[in-house]
Structure 1
Amino acid sequence: MIEIDGSTGEGGGQILRTSLALAMCTGQAFELSRIRAGRPKPGLMRQHLTCVNAATEVCGAQVQGAELNSQSLRFVPGPVRAGDYAFNVGTAGSCTLVLQTVWPALMMAMAPSRVKLGGGTHNPMAPPFHFLARSYAPLLRRLGAEADLVLRRLGFYPAGGGEIEALIRPARDLLQPFDVNERGALRESHAECFAPALPRSVARRELQQLCALLDWPEAQLREVATRQNEGPGNALIATLEYEHVTEVFTAFGEKGVSSEQVAQAVANELRAYEAGEAALGPHLADQWALPLALALWQRGGQASYTCTELTPHARTNFEVIERFLPVRFSATPVGHEGSAWQVQARAL
C-alpha cells in the first residue's frame, strides 16, 4: 500500500489524479491523506470525486473515502476493463481532467474504449479541450497510443454543460519512449475565438487586438461559429504548430475583463514561449511526464525533453510518479541564464 501525503509539494488535485492513473496502470493500491489540505476548500470537490468514480468504474476498484469534501482516500484497483463509459462532472468542473485520469489506463487496455464526458471543456485552471487535442494527444500518438477526440459541445464556467467524446485505442505494442528536445520548424500558426451567447463584436475585438500585438496577418485569425446555448463564455486561443510539438495558448474572458486584456494575456504567454528554444511549454512539460514514465517502465532506458519552465506543479508530479514507477526524473537548467530546463527521465 503506497501512502501519499496530498499536501506535499504543490498540494493540488493533480496528486490525486496521477495516483489514480498510475494505480490503475500498475495495479498498486494507495492511501492518500490530507487531500488538497492547503486549498481554500480542502478535500474532494465534485470534479475530483468524478475522477475517483471514473477510475473506480474503469478498474472495479475497492474504495474508501469517495465522498465530497473527504480529505482521505483508500483506492485498491482491480484489472482495467475496456468498454463504453460516460462520466459527468455535473457542474462546470473540468471534464478534460477526468479524461486525463482514465486515459493512461485505457490506452494500455486490451481493446478500444469510448468515453463520453460532460462538464467544463474550457476552464482557466485545467487543460482546455483544444490543448488535449492538439498538444497532448499527438505526443501520445508518437508513443504508440492512438486516440480520437471530438468536441460535441462547449462548456464554460459557471454553466458547464460541455460534452467531449474520446475513442481511446490500445497501444499497438509496448509504448515507445522518445526525446522531445527541439521544436523543429514552424509549420502553422493561427488564432481563434469562442464566444457563445456574447455579442459577435467581442470575438472580433479580441482577434483584432491579438493580430495587432503579434503582427499576424488577418488570414491567421478565425472567428468560430458557436451555439447560443453553449454560453455565455469566452476563450481566445492561439496555436503554434511546429514539426515536433504543438503548443496552445488560451485566455478566458470574464466580467470586468476587457477584450484587450484577454488578447494581451494570450500574446504575453505566446511571446514568452517564442522567446525561448525549449520544446515544451510549462503545462505540457508537466503533463507529458506521466505517459513518458509509463513508456520507460515498459521499455526501459531513458528519454528527455526540454521545457521553457519547470513549475512546482511539475516537480510534485515527478515525485508522485516516482512513488509508483521505477523511473527517476532529474532537471537541469540550460540556455541563457537558465532560461530553459532539460528534463531527463530514466528507468531503474
Structure 2
Amino acid sequence: MITIDGSEGEGGGQVLRYAAALALLTGEPFTIANVRGGRAKPGLMRQHVTALEAAAAVGSAECSGLTVGSRELTFRPGSVVPGEYHFAIGTAGSTALVVQTVLVPLMLADAPSRLVIEGGTHAASAPPFEFLSQTLLPVLERMGPRLSVTLDRHGFYPRGGGRIMLDITPAPLTAIACMERGTFKAGKVEALVAGIPFDIADRELKAARKVLADWPDDAFAPVQLSAELGPGNALLITAECEHVTEVMSAFGQIGIPAERLAKTAAKRMAGYLGSGAFAGPYLQDQLLLPFAMAGQGAFTTVKPSEHSRTAAALIARFTGRQFSFGEDAEGRWLASLG
C-alpha cells in the first residue's frame, strides 16, 4: 500500500488522477491523506469524485472515502475491463481531466473502449476539448493506439452540460522521442461566445492580435454559439507546427477584463513559440505517464511545471522509473526517462 500526502507537490487534483491511473497500471493500492491539501478549499470536489469513480469502474476497484469534501481515501485496483462507459460529472468539472485518469490504462487494455463523459468542456483550470483533439491524442497515436474524440456539446462554467465521446483502440506502447516541433505552419485564434455580448469576442481578438502581431488578420475569428449553451466564453489560440499542434486557452470570468485574459493567453503562446520546445506547459505533464509505460522516451519542453514534477514523483513511487529534467544550451528543457 502506497501512502501519499495530498498536500505535497502540486497539492491538488493532479495527485488524485495520477495516483489512480498508476494504481490501475501497476495493481498497487494507495491511500491519500490530506486530499487537495494545497488548495484553498481542500477535499474532493465533484469532478475529482467522478474521475475516481471512472477509474474504479474501468479498473474493477474498491474505493473508500469517495464523497465530495472527503479529505482521505483508499483505492484498491482490480483488473482493467475495457468496454462502453458513461460518466456524468453533474457540474462544469472538466471532462478532459476525467479522460486523463483512465486514458492510459484503457490504451493498454485488451479490447477497445468507448467513453461518453458529460460536464465541462471549456472551463478554467483545465485543458479545453481542442487540446485533447488537436494536441494530446495525435501525439499518443504515434505510440500505437488509435484514438478519436468528438465534441457533441460545449459545456461552460458554471452550467456545464457539455458532452464528449472518446473511442480507444488499444495497442502496446512504442517509445518515441519528441525533440523538435518543426516548422510553424499556421496560427488560429478563436473567441467563442454563448449567451453573452458579442463585443467580448472582438475585445479578446484585438488584445490577442497586439501580442501575436505577425499572425495574419484572417487568423483571428469570433465564433457565435447558441445562447442556450451559455453563458460562456473561451479564447482558443492554436499553433500548428510540423510535428505538433499546441493549444493555449483562456476562459471568461466575472470581474476579469476580457482583454487581460486574452493578453495572458497570447503571451503564453508567444513564449512557447519562442522557446523552440516540442511540448508546451500543459502537454508536458500529460506525456510523462505514457512515456513511462513505454519504458523509455524523451521530449523537449518549456520549464517543467509543478504538475509535471508531481507527476514524475508519483511515477517513480509506483513504478521505480525516474524522469530527469535538464536545460539545454538553447534554453529548452529535456524530459527523459532512465
TM superposition score normalised by structure 1? 0.93
1:7 and 1:49 map into 2 onto residues whose CA distance is: 17
Preserved CA contact (<8 Å) 2:192 2:233: yes
Residues 154-165 of structure 1 mapped to structure 2, 5 A cutoff: 154-165=154-165
1:187 matched to 2:179? The reply is: no
Show the counterpart of 2:101.
Answer: 101
Aligned-residue RMSD, C-alpha = 1.5
Is the contact between residue 198 and residue 224 of structure 2 (CA under 8 Å) also seen in structure 1?
no
Q: Which residue of 1 aligns with 2:151?
A: 151
* 1:152-198 C-alpha deviation (Å, 9 max, x unpaired): 11111111111111111112xx2001111111111221111211112
User: CA–CA distance in 1 between the matches of 2:17 and 2:221?
Assistant: 34
Matched, 1:230 2:229: yes
CA distance in 1, matches of 2:107, 2:279: 23
Shift in Å, 1:10: 1.6
Corresponding residue SS for 2:282: helix
Mapped to 1, the partners of 2:50 and 2:143 lie a distance apart of 27
| Identity fraction in percent | 44
Summarize the Cα distance change of 1:227–1:335 in structure 2 as closer, same or farther, 3 Å threshold.
farther
CA distance in 1, matches of 2:35, 2:262: 35
C-alpha distance in structure 1 between counterparts of 2:4 and 2:82, whole Å: 28
Aligned partner of 1:312 among 302, 306, 309? 306
Residues paired across the two proteins, number? 337
Amino acid at match of 2:319: L
CA deviation after TM superposition for structure 1 residue 259, in Å:
3.2
Residue 200 of structure 2 aligns to a residue whose secondary structure is: helix
CA contact (8 A) 2:110 2:170 kept: yes
Q: How far does residue 263 in structure 1 lie from its aligned partner after superposition? A: 2.4
Separation in structure 1 between the aligned mates of residue 111 and residue 212 of structure 2, nearest angstrom: 45
Tell me which residue corresponds to 1:329: 323
- Calculate the TM-score normalised by the size of structure 2: 0.95
AA of the residue aligned to 2:301: C
What does residue 336 of structure 2 align with? 344
Match of 1:92 in 2: 92
Structure 1 residue 218 displacement after superposition: 2.2
Question: How far did 1:119 drift?
Answer: 0.9
Partner Cα separation in structure 1 for residue 247 and residue 112 of structure 2: 27
Match of 1:283 in 2: 282
| Post-superposition CA distance 1:46-78 (Å, at most 9, x none) | 111111111111121112211122122111111
List runs of 5+ in structure 1 lacking aligned partners: 297-301
Amino acid at match of 1:241: E
- Structure 2: which 5+ residue stretches go unaligned? none
Secondary structure of 1:16's counterpart equals helix
Q: Which letter maps to 1:343?
A: A
Aligned to 1:299: none
1:229-250 CA-to-partner distances (Å, cap 9, x unmatched) read 1111111111111112111111
1:196 is aligned, of 184, 194, 197, to 194
Q: Find the residue that maps to 2:291 and give its secondary structure.
A: helix
Contact 2:190 2:221 in 1 (8 A): yes
Q: How big is the shift at 1:209?
A: 3.4
Q: CA deviation at 1:228?
A: 1.1
Paired amino acid for 1:245: V
Deviations 1:208-231 (A, max 9, x none): 432343122222123224121111
What is residue 208 of structure 2 aligned with on the other side?
210
Match status 1:47 vs 2:47:
yes
